[in-house]
Structure 1
Amino acid sequence: MNNSKISTLSKGVLLLVMVLLVSSIFVPMWRIELTAPQYPEGLVLKLHADKIAGDVDIINGLNHYIGMKTLHKEDFVEFTVLPYIFVFFAVFALATAIFAKKKVLYVLFISLILFGALAAVDFYRWNYEYGHNLDPNAAIQVPGMSYQPPMLGYKQLLNFGAYSIPDIGGWLLIASGFLLFIIVIKESNLLQKFKKPKTATALLFFLSLFFLSCADNTKAVPIKLNVDSCDFCKMSIADGKYGAEVLTEKGRTYKFDDIMCMMNYCKENLNTKISWYYVHDFTQDNVLIPAPTAHFISGGTIKSPMRGGVVAFSSEKDAKEFGTKLNAELITWDAILKK
């Protein structure tokens, strides 16, 4: 048996990779969503391999006022070369399946990874220039302010929330890289090496570090008192005992000066998918705790900023003690969600 040849299964995966790469040309690669009070339905910028789509005209109009460059396909050489690059990699994947050589597979995988890294650097450079090279004669100028969109994730830009994520084409490209990674692991027999105790222990250690580094994705974002405003009532958040915040599945953070403001916001924005709820611990100053594990009291003489009348505690003992002092009743998190 020739050990330099790849398996039939790997050939099939390579054909799938070819299809994914070609398909990515015809759908958006990336999207940047913008939300603001004056645009309740939001604005979206879609970056294809060969064009810019979405609410381009509206965004260009906004850019003009703050001195940012307007967006035009002709200004970006990337929109000319990207389709050819994807076709090249698709043909490369097909050729790899036909010749069935492991070395060719490894070259394909490394080349795609290098392309992804260069594309990320180029995207960052584009975002930086787009947000920093401002017209000094713009109608609206904020000293020291730049408008660089996030490369990935969420960022607040003036009164706009900007959220940047892969679109369908981006996910197809990521899937292509992942499938190539799987067959490279399979064909190189790397898994056999991990069966050795020392190697397995080292792998487990590095995987543990990786997952720990990802743990902050659900961490509460500190509320800046007298700086942040409530995303429901728009009042300044001044007291660190009554506030709350939510983290969405998209990574956005919404902050509130009153627990009931948070609940009312969620009721009015049912399409916003919440991943985590946080509330202020009434016994501490501006300390957020997970709402599902908190203990609550409601009513009585509680005077929260917007008269929501609900406060939270880390311990049940504190909740009962303050419930007696404030003539308030214990209430569960589930009951608050149903209010």
Structure 2
Amino acid sequence: MLFLSGLLLIGAVFFPIWKIELTAPQYPEGLVLKLHASKIAGDVDIINGLNHYIGMKTLHTNDFIEFKVLPFILATLGIISIACAWKSNRKGLFVFFFSFVLFGILSACDFYRWNYEYGHNLDPNAAIRVPGMAYQPPMLGYKQLLNFGAYSIPDIGGWMLIAVGVLLFAAIAKEKFAKPSGRLLGILLVPAFLFSCSSDKAVPIKLNVDNCDFCMMGISDGRHGAEIITEKGRVYKFDDIACMAHYCKDHNDTKIKKYYVHDYTKNNELIPVENAFFVSGGTIKSPMNGNIAAFPNKSEAKAFEAQTKGLETEWTAILNE
């Protein structure tokens, strides 16, 4: 495990460690900022141009001492890890593990400081000024910045470093709890369980507050709305099931993790589409004339179909209509 950790640490020098993706209507393909161990890459020139208008400092590799020292730190940690594996030193394993944890904490603090300074220290003479507005990107996850959506996640090198942490934890657990194997298994299953807990749970729609991400109308009806969660964890909300279908058709490159629709029999309660039965047409009226209702069971859908003279329909048909 230590030998593999060493190779991953050294390998992380050659791949982007972190990335910040930006999406906005004027950039349908998005912009990306990639942070390597030794440089800033990606759509740097375009992002610098945008930063100039809102008063943020422009980004240049030479302005950060971190890009000069980080490759050496990672390479040194990698060599130490390989050396510990070669010597099979138990004490060295523990020292190296806590050194790596300390390195991770300091790196996270430095990244937060960097984000904070660039998001708050704005040029008062900038062309676009919004009183009280700061543009600090998220350390991890999604954040809305004016009309831009910013999504901050690990890149290849970052996942390699996360893998190092998991391997070191496993090595420590194996060393410390080698005999009671059941205890070791339990310890290893905890992080595995946490990693498996995906963020695909429905996010409640705030009626009369949230807007539809397709037609931009306010969502006020708690029986016809819908929601999607992307692979990246971003949530899009809709005031009509048809709006969700149209949005997915217009953004077919977006990787969807989960689809939800309102349960017609309840107010503002979302259910997964795979558990839903749909009825469309007839006398059904929905906010944007999609005229689709979803039900949690077939019997309720059938009864509503007869009542409204609608037609039972499949989710795939709605999505591809």
Which residue of structure 1 aligns with residue 177 of structure 2? Answer: 190
Which residue of structure 2 aligns with residue 313 of structure 1? Answer: 295
Distance 2:96 2:114 in 1: 27
SS of the aligned residue for 2:136 comes to coil
SS of the aligned residue for 1:311 comes to strand
Q: Does 1:260 align with 2:247?
A: no
Q: Which moved more, 1:122-131 or 1:106-115?
A: 122-131
Distance apart, 1:163 and its partner CA: 1.1
Which residue of structure 2 aligns with residue 151 of structure 1? Answer: 139
Distance 1:136 1:321 in 2: 63
Distance 1:133 1:323 in 2: 59
Distance 2:285 2:93 in 1: 67
Which residue of structure 2 aligns with residue 129 of structure 1? Answer: 117
Which residue of structure 2 aligns with residue 280 of structure 1? Answer: 262
Which residue of structure 2 aligns with residue 172 of structure 1? Answer: 160
Unaligned runs of 5+ in 1: 1-12
Q: Is the 8 A contact 2:7 2:78 kept in 1?
A: yes
Which residue of structure 1 aligns with residue 64 of structure 2? Answer: 76
Q: CA RMSD in A?
A: 2.6
Compared CA separation, residues 136 and 268, structure 1 to 2 (3 A): same
Residue 297 of structure 1 aligns with an amino acid whose one-letter code is V
Compared CA separation, residues 169 and 200, structure 1 to 2 (3 A): closer
Residue 268 of structure 1 aligns with an amino acid whose one-letter code is D
Distance 2:125 2:209 in 1: 29
Distance 2:114 2:270 in 1: 37
Compared CA separation, residues 124 and 192, structure 1 to 2 (3 A): same
Compared CA separation, residues 93 and 200, structure 1 to 2 (3 A): closer
Which residue of structure 1 aligns with residue 215 of structure 2? Answer: 233
SS of the aligned residue for 1:217 comes to coil
Residue 107 of structure 1 aligns with an amino acid whose one-letter code is V
SS of the aligned residue for 1:192 comes to coil
Which residue of structure 2 aligns with residue 331 of structure 1? Answer: 313
Compared CA separation, residues 295 and 98, structure 1 to 2 (3 A): closer
**Number of residues of Structure 1 aligned to a counterpart in Structure 2:** 320
Distance 1:23 1:207 in 2: 28
Q: Is the 8 A contact 2:177 2:184 kept in 1?
A: no
Compared CA separation, residues 316 and 160, structure 1 to 2 (3 A): same
Q: Does 1:224 align with 2:206?
A: yes
SS of the aligned residue for 1:282 comes to coil
Q: Is the 8 A contact 2:205 2:237 kept in 1?
A: yes
Q: Does 1:251 align with 2:233?
A: yes
Q: Which moved more, 1:112-121 or 1:13-22?
A: 13-22
Distance 1:84 1:52 in 2: 17
Residue 277 of structure 1 aligns with an amino acid whose one-letter code is Y
Distance apart, 1:151 and its partner CA: 1.3
Distance apart, 1:45 and its partner CA: 0.2
Mapping for residues 84-95 of structure 1, pairs under 5 Å: 84-95=72-83
Distance 1:184 1:128 in 2: 35
SS of the aligned residue for 1:218 comes to coil
Residue of 102, 108, 115 corresponding to 2:103: 115
Residue of 48, 59, 62 corresponding to 2:36: 48
SS of the aligned residue for 2:179 comes to helix
Distance apart, 1:103 and its partner CA: 0.9
Unaligned runs of 5+ in 2: none
Distance 2:309 2:243 in 1: 22
Q: Is the 8 A contact 2:31 2:43 kept in 1?
A: yes
Distance 2:310 2:244 in 1: 20
Deviations 1:27-75 (A, max 9, x none): 1110011111100110000001111111111111111222222212233
Distance apart, 1:223 and its partner CA: 2.3
Residue of 127, 135, 138 corresponding to 2:126: 138
Taking only the aligned residue pairs, the percentage that are identical comes to: 61
What TM-score do you get using the length of structure 2 for normalisation? 0.89
Distance apart, 1:276 and its partner CA: 0.8
What TM-score do you get using the length of structure 1 for normalisation? 0.85
Residue 123 of structure 1 aligns with an amino acid whose one-letter code is F
Distance 1:238 1:145 in 2: 29
Distance apart, 1:338 and its partner CA: 4.2
Q: Does 1:103 align with 2:91?
A: yes
**Ranges of 4+ aligned residues in structure 1 off by more than 4 Å:** 210-216
SS of the aligned residue for 1:285 comes to coil
Distance 1:214 1:150 in 2: 23
